[in-house]
A and B are shown apart, each in its own frame.
Chain A
Amino acid sequence: MTATANRSDTIDKHAATLADLEKHFGSGVFTCSNFLDQTRIHVSADRAFEILARLKNSLGFSMLVELGGVDYLGYPQRSRPRYEIVYIVLNLDTTERLIVRATLADHPSPEIASVVPLWPGANWMEREVYDMYGIRFIGHPDLRRILMPEEFTAFPLRKDYPLRGRGERHNFTRIARSDS
């Protein structure tokens, strides 16, 4: 079986889902692309929640497999906005797996609607994305840092944050032998 045949199989597998989305939202809301047999739906951040809600409530994608963030600052030949939130959703009945990528423009504090109302399991994943990228999830019940210390002020996975930090790792008091 050739790679082309594989790709067409994948498109066929998602045909019903994509047709439903197309019918429901019309054209221009989202675009689709294929990469390595994976179908991805690109949507802007302000419409992402509607797409995901449709997938969850009407199309049977009951499981949120993964939620992550990407910062494409300085990425070669990049035409879309700087940030992306990647949702991987799974239909447990048909084992259909879709990738939804929501794009966010470059902003000091980007915002997107939280999907915790759809999948409660997104709670900690959105907290991690907020911790690393500073993307605020509107409607999140408890948007705090989850990995970094609470007094940390930067968002370390942003590409404009230096790899070695800004001295936060050494901003502690020193205990000498005479102090202890």
Chain B
Amino acid sequence: MAVEAEGNHAPEILTNLPGVGVGSGEALEPPPNTFITRAEDVIDYCVNYGRKYSLWPMPFATACCGIELMAVGASRFDIARFGAEVMRFSPRQCDLLIVAGRVVMKMLPVLQRIWLQMPEPKWCISMGACASTGGIFDTYAVVQGVDRFIPVDAYIPGCPPRPEQILRSILDLQGKIQRGGSLNGTALPEMVAYEKSLEAKRHALAAGKTTLERGDEERYGYRLPGGQAQIGGGESL
């Protein structure tokens, strides 16, 4: 604590908030980072606190990531320590969609339907390389990342991820819920704006009947009509 001038016996306030601790007798500025500035914020804080410690996951497990997801539910890692152990297999009862595994084009409408069936507020974790990017399955039927078609709040890398990574993503999501949620909304305001811009970009890309691919077909082996597959992108591509 800073040494005050002689004779100035301002009360010393013990807090970690910036700008509050040094009493100088003047009117204190309201600290910038506190959440308790409005009554609605108090309500939002309490609501978010309740939401983040009572996530009900909907396991959309289509591949080996689902096995790791089961391990998280078991006693060694125990997702119940973070309040997310109540796995329900009906989307009507869930608020956290965990997409664990690859999603093919025949499965994607099902996934979208499940997402739409989940009641608000809801969040989504894209677990593993396949759900996030398609992984090694860069073929005609496998969707290259579910975030192209449904909103995703947290991504987990790995093939498959360690159970600790899933717990980490739950913790991250809890932080996101605490920061960004409100009584009526689920996402951070900047995330809403970002999603809107992303959506505009994707709709601009979708010219004609099919959306464009990512444009990196030449980076890996790509079989042209009638030709040989090439590794590393030949000049003739």
Contacting residues, chain B, for A170 (C-beta < 8 A)? 143-144, 148, 210-211, 213
Contact A162 B106, beta carbon cutoff 8 Å = no
Chain A residues positioned under 8 Å from B228 (CB to CB): 74
A168 nearest CB across to chain B (Å):
6
* Docked-complex contact B115 and A180, CB < 8 angstroms: yes
Whether a CB of chain A sits under 8 angstroms from the CB of B19 is no
Interface: B159 (CB within 8 A) = no
Q: How far is the CB of B180 from chain A (nearest CB, A)?
A: 11
| Residue ID in chain A nearest B229 by CB atoms | A163
Q: A174-B148, A174-B149, A175-B150 are in contact. Are A167 and B211 (CB under 8 A)?
A: yes
Q: What is the total of A-B residue contacts with beta carbons within 8 Å?
A: 105
Give chain A interface residues in 26-40, CB to chain B under 8 Å.
none
Q: Majority SS of interface residues in chain B?
A: loop
A73 to B213, CA, bound (A): 25
Bitwise interface map of A from 157 to 180 toward B, beta carbon under 8 Å scored 1, else 0: 001111111111111111111101
Residue from B105, B106, B222, B225 whose CB has the most chain A CB atoms within 10 Å: B105
Q: Which of B139-191 contact A (CB under 8 A)?
A: 139-144, 148-151, 186-187, 191
* Residues in A130-152 with C-beta less than 8 Å from chain B: 148-149
A68: Cβ under 8 A from any B Cβ? no
B80: Cβ under 8 A from any A Cβ: no
| Closest residue of B by beta carbon distance from A149 | B106
**Within the assembled complex, what's the spacing in Å between the Cα atoms of A171 and B223?**
21
Question: Which of A167, A170, A172 is packed against the most chain B CB atoms within 10 Å?
Answer: A170
Please list the residues of chain A having a beta carbon within 8 angstroms of any beta carbon in chain B: 73-74, 148-149, 154, 156, 159-178, 180
Using A170-B144, A172-B149 as known contacts, list a sample of 10 further A-B pairs with CB atoms less than 8 Å apart, ordered by residue number in A.
A73-B226, A149-B106, A162-B225, A168-B141, A169-B104, A169-B143, A170-B211, A174-B150, A175-B151, A176-B196
